[in-house]
Amino acid sequence: MIGAAELAQMKRGAYLVNTARGGLIDEAALVAALCDGKLAGVALDVFEQEPVPATHPLMPFRNVVLTPHISAGTRDALITKMTALFANIERFYRGEALNNRVF
């Protein structure tokens, strides 16, 4: 986890971007780093709690961009995922090895 100690090691005026996983960054420590001017800005599309409440402490900052984590929800992404899924179903019923197997 990226907490107060890790944020303190960042260069003053740095920008922090997290599009990986919510909970990766201690949001209370992030707010503290913003309040003391350590960070120039933050961009997040993943959060400890989702959906992000309107009362989230990062909301008032003008140097913070908060967006929903929906890049996989585009029409093109859906077509790509469904094409791969149906191709794997066909491979399964033909007794062939599955593509992109992760276990």
Q: Which residues are catalytic?
A: 21, 50, 69
Q: Are strands 39-44 and 64-66 parallel, antiparallel or unpaired?
A: parallel
> Using the 8-state DSSP alphabet, how is residue 55 labeled?
T
Q: Are strands 14-18 and 64-66 parallel, antiparallel or unpaired?
A: unpaired
Q: What is the dihedral of CA 88, 90, 91, 94, to 10 degrees?
A: 160
The token pair that represents 67 in the structure block: 């967006």
Q: What is the C-alpha separation between 51 and 97, in angstroms, rounded?
A: 38
